[in-house]
Structure 1
């Protein structure tokens, strides 16, 4: 079935309100979740919601937690999310990074004791809207084996970068693995196979079965290059921000254990280097060069296309996800038929 963006927001708000999440926090979670679904990152949208509900039920996600600022300077900060919603903690962190960037030219905020934050590009979009460059990196519980090994040690370790432009949406949001773990979880839920050259089973053999891949490891993208990038992110989103790293990272996919991953959030003010309008014009000039060849896309084009399509046609939900959501709403005594106009 397909639902409208408005229906998705209403459904999330109803579920979170029933789970004693404040309207302020629920609104942030709902907006980030919808953003993922609109852009086509369904593995990080409503499809992840059963994970968040389980986290709330078992107490690994603690709504209304106060964020603690442990270290603070003109340009940097380290914050303790105290196991609140990852969406809320990361939203507040980017707000801090933006404020610091406007004063110092760059703002960088490290996070530990948070939770899965949805789609990373939402937070870099926050920077773009303030005419800033946004950067988000994070580590996750082990899913990727080092090149030559078969035991998962590295996370899928996402990277998002957003750049302001006069007339284009310029954004990349990607895992450093051949696939995000969420896509494997989504394939498992849908009963689908995954592409070749994405994952290995527990014995180190190539597999297209998502169940076997989840027991084994995901390949890094670009072989040694993706591995090297994931390795560096593991350190910058682990030891640098007082978070766990390697095999000690837990809770990004399994909501029943405490999440110990880390995040590093940055905002950069281009006007501290060059004239802001000149910078954005130069970005657009470069994009024009790239697009001079027909059928060429830039990072962000697919998301723009997906948003337009999903706003017009609705957001698709597979049957198993609908079943999961109906079970959750039934337990919470929510009249989902009323929300979805059934």
Structure 2
């Protein structure tokens, strides 16, 4: 079945608030989750929601804590998330980075002791909306073996970059692996195969079986280049921000383990370099130059724009197995999901 973005948001809000999650925290989790589904990142949308509920039940996600700023200068801050929802920690971290960039030209925020934060590009969008450039990287539980190895040591380690413009949505949001782990989990749930050249099984052999891939490793995108980028992100979002790295990273895939990953947020205020309208005009001129170089040429961000239009028209997918999972959660908190969706 398909549901509307409004319905998805309401379902998440109802369940979380009935589980004693603060309203303002529930709103952020719901907004980030719906944003992922609208943009077509279904592996990080409501399909991940049962994982968060498991984390709440296991105590690895703390519903009533607050973030703590451990170190701070005019341009940077180090945040202890105290294991509340990763969406809330990163949202607050981005707000802090934006304010610092507004004052100094750049804001850098490191985060540790957080949780899975959903789709990375949501947070760089926050910077775009303030006429800022945003960059967010994070490490995750080991899923990628180094080139030539069999044992997963690196995470899928996402990176998102967003750039303000007057006419275009300029944004890239991607894993440094050939596939996000969430897409493998989604393929398992839907009983689907994964594409070739995406993953290896535990013996190091190519596989299209997502369950075998989860036991083995995901390939880095672009071979050595993806591996090298993931390697650097592991350091920037691990040792630099007092978070775990390599095989010590836990909790992003298994919600019953304490999350030890880290995040790094960088925000740049272009107006400290050039007039902001001149900058955005130059960005739009560059986009036009790219698109005029051939037929049907897309820029980073066009796919998300197309998916948002399609999602708003057709609705957001809720497959049978996921519906059952959400209904079971709803029943536990006395929320009549069936009646809500039929009303």
Where do 1:245-324 residues align within 5 Å? 245-292=245-292, 293-324=294-325
Q: Give the stretch that moved more between structures: 99-108 or 321-330.
A: 321-330
Distance in structure 1 (CA, Å) of the matches to 2:237 and 2:164? 24
Following superposition, the deviation at residue 328 of structure 1 comes to 0.9
Is 1:233 aligned to residue 227 of structure 2?
A: no
Distance in structure 2 (CA, Å) of the matches to 1:259 and 1:188? 23
Q: Give secondary structure in 2 for the equivalent of 1:137.
A: strand
Q: Give secondary structure in 1 for the equivalent of 2:243.
A: coil
TM-score of the two chains, using structure 1 as the length reference: 0.99
Distance in structure 2 (CA, Å) of the matches to 1:338 and 1:80? 40
Following superposition, the deviation at residue 13 of structure 1 comes to 0.5
Structure 2 residue aligned with 1:192: 192
Q: Give the stretch that moved more between structures: 71-80 or 329-338.
A: 329-338
Q: Give the stretch that moved more between structures: 288-297 or 197-206.
A: 288-297
Distance in structure 1 (CA, Å) of the matches to 2:42 and 2:158? 16
Structure 2 residue aligned with 1:76: 76
* Unaligned runs of at least 5 residues, structure 1: none
Give a deviation string over 1:137-186, Cα, whole Å, max 9, x none.
00001000000001000000000000000110000000000000000000
Is 1:341 aligned to residue 342 of structure 2?
A: yes
Following superposition, the deviation at residue 336 of structure 1 comes to 0.7
Structure 2 residue aligned with 1:124: 124
Is 1:101 aligned to residue 101 of structure 2?
A: yes
Structure 1 residue aligned with 2:244: 244
Q: Give secondary structure in 1 for the equivalent of 2:311.
A: helix
Following superposition, the deviation at residue 339 of structure 1 comes to 2.2
Structure 2 residue aligned with 1:210: 210
Distance in structure 1 (CA, Å) of the matches to 2:341 and 2:94? 33
Write out the 4+ residue segments of structure 1 that deviate beyond 6 Å after TM superposition.
none
Give a deviation string over 1:178-237, Cα, whole Å, max 9, x none.
000000000001000000000000000000000000000000000000000000000000
* Unaligned runs of at least 5 residues, structure 2: none
TM-score of the two chains, using structure 2 as the length reference: 0.99
Q: Give secondary structure in 2 for the equivalent of 1:176.
A: coil
Distance in structure 2 (CA, Å) of the matches to 1:10 and 1:54? 19
Distance in structure 1 (CA, Å) of the matches to 2:295 and 2:164? 23
Structure 2 residue aligned with 1:153: 153
Structure 2 residue aligned with 1:19: 19
Is the contact between residue 10 and residue 339 of structure 1 (CA under 8 Å) also seen in structure 2? no
Following superposition, the deviation at residue 37 of structure 1 comes to 0.3
Give a deviation string over 1:4-52, Cα, whole Å, max 9, x none.
0110011000110111101110000000000000000000000000000
Following superposition, the deviation at residue 341 of structure 1 comes to 2.2
Distance in structure 2 (CA, Å) of the matches to 1:47 and 1:224? 31
Is 1:89 aligned to residue 100 of structure 2?
A: no
Following superposition, the deviation at residue 318 of structure 1 comes to 1.2
Q: C-alpha root-mean-square deviation of aligned residues, in Å? A: 0.6
Following superposition, the deviation at residue 64 of structure 1 comes to 2.0
Following superposition, the deviation at residue 319 of structure 1 comes to 1.1
